[in-house]
Structure 1
Amino acid sequence: MFEVKLPPEVRLVEGSCQKSQQLSADGLHIRVRLKVGQCSEAQGSAIQHLRAQRSYCILCQSCGDMLLKDRVFRRVLPLPNGNWNTLIDDWCCHPDPFANKKLHPKQEDCLVGDTYFLLTRDSSCEEKLTNGVEAFDLNASSNVHSRKQALGHRNVVCCKNCCAVLGEAVTTEVLKFYITEVIVRQSEDGENTMPQNRQQFLERALVSRLVDLSSAQSIFRFSIQTPDGRAVIMLWLLNMDTLIASFSEKAISSDILISASDRHPNKHQSCQAVGAIKVLYLPCTRGQQDEAVDAWEKDISVHPLILPRSTCEEVLQLLSSSTKTLPSSLCSMKNYQVAYLRR
């Protein structure tokens, strides 16, 4: 017998459990009514909580090594995000004075973007960080198929301990760190901890930013892109009030749900239901769904989210893994694939 434990603020309405007859081809489907009380606010992303005049430590997510210690920012300022320049051109009657200029932080500043933050180097950077060069295809972000590959190069910043790419060297004095590659926490939270599970960390970091942006700016469609502007995933946030509970495939496929080593053989197989977001997504693979992808790329209401190239591929794997766990009747909606990401 399987048992799903609901969060404290969610209760099952008595007598509402009914078997669905319409979707019996790929397993048992049950419809229930839930009563939801006052929900606790979901924890926001790390960069949303950055504040001036507080001390922060920045750690490598891959190995847990301390990169920057006790950094205090005099100012923490948001950067213009999304298609800001395009909106300026459409709505303003005068040219954008910042069109060809980049905003860089001054000493003791922290500038916060959607998926990254900018800060200046200090003495600890030489001890903990190393520079590298990453090549990319200049034609990758264009719809034009070219036989000749034109390569560009980007200066990246890596962890000296494990060589993981953490961000970019914008200038000789300014660094860009991606929120999916580093852990930001207040200095008083204690010493280094063991590295977090990569998949769980990435899932929570991505979900936090999607929820932040949709709540603050009513943005629901996103284009997950590499730093050179190549779209990898088109993602549509459908809702943020989903509960999911999953059992291991081994437990479901086995007739014996409790192992011989279990001290309580009569105990039910149970799991805790957790909050999740439901998304539709399209992988931007050449030759597949080209019309839909082109339409999204031309729509200025679609919000770009820039992530390292390898992280974009990790996000796609994360979404695909979620889709594979769903029954066949629920894993797609029209031309889009369905996925659930835990909050």
Structure 2
Amino acid sequence: MAGGFLLEIRRGTQSALLVIREGDPPSSPLDVCVAADCLEVRSGGSRRAAALPAGVALAPASCRGLRPLPGGGLHLRMRLVRPPPAADLVFSLRESLKPQKNYVFYCQSCGDIIVKDRKFLRVLPLPSENWSALVEEWCCHPNPFARSTFHPQHDDCFLGDTFFLLNSGNESHVPESPMCSSDAGHHASQGVSNLKSKENTRVICKRCKKMLGETVSSDTIKYYVTEVIIRPSEASFSPTPRSQFIQSVVAQCLVELSSAKSTFRFTVKGDNEKIYILIWLLNSDTLLVESLGSSSSDSVFTLFGDTFMPSSGPVGTWNAVKVLYQTCIKSRNKDDRRESIGFV
């Protein structure tokens, strides 16, 4: 049996989608057995069985809609007798940063320390990025906050939707990227000058030269949540694969923003304000589990995707968000829309 099988559970609708990954067409007839607490697939002389996660029970009599999808395996829908408990999907950055505790900031790409043993007296959320525009709609007179900006003091940490602001103070772990003088001499137009000025505010990791954020003012640095890992000073640091970290951060941001702002459409921009991808959040109540891949012995459901699997042993289940995305890159088909899963 070449492939495994995947179970996508929806808490809200108390339903599940079973995906059996087989050859197209299958190399031999399949025998699928669905019980309340386990699944089993037989093909030829091979057998694959898996126990369901604790707290999940299927309704075998509800199985319907068995159909093959080209390149996508066999799909089978069913109802749940007992859905898994609701997941707490609070954005981890806001939950983990607390006042009166020491933290270390690491570059996510290489693990280099960029801020060491920093204690915050205040950890405060920032208003949404469009708060000033909303004030103009509410006021019948000129906006009194039009030029207001937020500058944290040395012991402050201000949290935005996708970034956080720190007072740079005497911090020297992450230098600013200098503007190349030879390049500056060849560009005299105002537009290019503004672009160079923007590039000159970038905050770069001293070791791997990755962009971590940007300078907002002479004493304020904006760090992006996708580029920095924060750990308590007493905790040990272990690197996380880049793809896994990005998926987790983006998924948590989507959950937080959709619940706070009642929206499901998002854009992903680069530091140059260029839009690279459009995202529609389909659901955030998914529990995603996958078979380990053993062809002869019983196994349990494990984490979806080879990128997330350890070399051996089961790792349990993952909460996930499901999105529909469309790329905005010229080389891509403008009508190309795809579904994807992001882990929380």
TM norm structure 2: 0.68
Aligned to 1:267: 297
User: Structure 2 residue aligned with 1:240, among 280, 284, 293?
Assistant: 284
Aligned to 1:49: 96
Aligned to 2:56: 10
Query: Structure 1 residues 25 and 285 mapped into 2: Cα distance closer, same or farther (>3 Å)?
Result: closer
The 8 Å contact of residues 57 and 187 in structure 1, kept in 2 or not, is answered as: yes
* In structure 2, distance between residues paired with 1:288 and 1:61: 29
Aligned to 1:104: 151
Q: Does 1:132 align with 2:162?
A: no
**Superposition pairs for residues 48-87 of structure 1, below 5 Å?**
48-87=95-134
Query: Structure 1 residues 178 and 99 mapped into 2: Cα distance closer, same or farther (>3 Å)?
Result: same
Query: Structure 1 residues 58 and 6 mapped into 2: Cα distance closer, same or farther (>3 Å)?
Result: farther
Count of residues paired in the alignment: 269
**Superposition pairs for residues 99-248 of structure 1, below 5 Å?**
99-123=146-170, 125-126=171-172, 128-133=173-178, 150=192, 152-153=195-196, 154=199, 155-188=201-234, 190-191=235-236, 193-246=237-290
Structure with higher strand content: 2
Secondary structure at the aligned position of 1:202 is classed as helix
Query: Structure 1 residues 274 and 287 mapped into 2: Cα distance closer, same or farther (>3 Å)?
Result: closer
Residue identity opposite 2:325 in structure 1: Y
Give the C-alpha shift of residue 104 in structure 1: 1.4
The 8 Å contact of residues 50 and 298 in structure 2, kept in 1 or not, is answered as: no
Give the C-alpha shift of residue 108 in structure 1: 1.1
Identity %: 36
The 8 Å contact of residues 233 and 284 in structure 1, kept in 2 or not, is answered as: yes
TM norm structure 1: 0.69
Residue identity opposite 1:229 in structure 2: E
Give the C-alpha shift of residue 25 in structure 1: 5.0
Query: Structure 1 residues 182 and 287 mapped into 2: Cα distance closer, same or farther (>3 Å)?
Result: closer
Residue identity opposite 2:220 in structure 1: V
* In structure 2, distance between residues paired with 1:276 and 1:160: 34
Secondary structure at the aligned position of 1:15 is classed as strand
* In structure 2, distance between residues paired with 1:92 and 1:98: 11
* In structure 1, distance between residues paired with 2:106 and 2:251: 20
Give the C-alpha shift of residue 288 in structure 1: 7.5
* In structure 1, distance between residues paired with 2:208 and 2:113: 12
Larger Rg: 2
Residue identity opposite 2:279 in structure 1: L
Residue identity opposite 1:170 in structure 2: V
Secondary structure at the aligned position of 1:130 is classed as coil
Secondary structure at the aligned position of 1:38 is classed as coil
Secondary structure at the aligned position of 2:74 is classed as coil
Residue identity opposite 1:224 in structure 2: V
When the two chains are superposed, the root-mean-square deviation of aligned CA atoms in Å is 3.0
Name stretches of at least 5 consecutive residues in structure 1 with no aligned partner: 136-147, 252-256, 259-265, 291-333
The 8 Å contact of residues 121 and 156 in structure 2, kept in 1 or not, is answered as: yes
